[in-house]
């Protein structure tokens, strides 16, 4: 998230770190709240075996989407040179 934010023009300072940390934390805890709730609803209506299968397919689909996004961002992005510049700055 930090590299993407820096490539898209956000400054490298503590306000950027705090915004990204807040976004990450809120999404993490939102998933920790919604996930078990949906799992309980699935378990109640479809049974344990089907609900865990559905949750597994959702996790697999998420992994596919995340991989596709990462590939798109790294390979097909127009400003590939910006990542190289950021890596050189960190060295």
Q: What is the pLDDT of residues 33-81, one digit of tens each?
A: 998 898 889 889 999 999 889 888 989 999 999 999 888 877 877 555 5
Q: Where are the domains of the chain?
A: 2-90
The pLDDT, as a whole number, for residue 88 is 57
The pLDDT, as a whole number, for residue 20 is 92
Could you tell me the pTM of the whole model? 0.57
Which of 1, 2, 26 has its CA nearest to residue 89?
Answer: 2
The pLDDT, as a whole number, for residue 27 is 94
Helical spans, DSSP H, in 47-79: 48-75
Q: Quick: pLDDT tens for 11-30.
A: 888 888 999 999 999 999 99
CA-based Rg of the chain, rounded to a whole angstrom?
Answer: 18
């Amino acid at each position: 998230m930090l590299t993407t934010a820096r490539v898209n023009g956000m400054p490298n300072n503590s306000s950027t770190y705090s915004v990204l940390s807040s976004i990450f934390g809120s999404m993490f805890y939102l998933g920790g709240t919604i996930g078990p709730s949906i799992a309980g609803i699935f378990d109640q209506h479809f049974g344990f075996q089907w609900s865990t299968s559905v949750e597994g397919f959702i996790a697999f689909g998420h992994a596919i989407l995340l991989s596709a996004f990462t590939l798109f961002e790294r390979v097909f992005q127009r400003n590939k040179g910006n990542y190289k510049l950021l890596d050189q700055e960190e060295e």
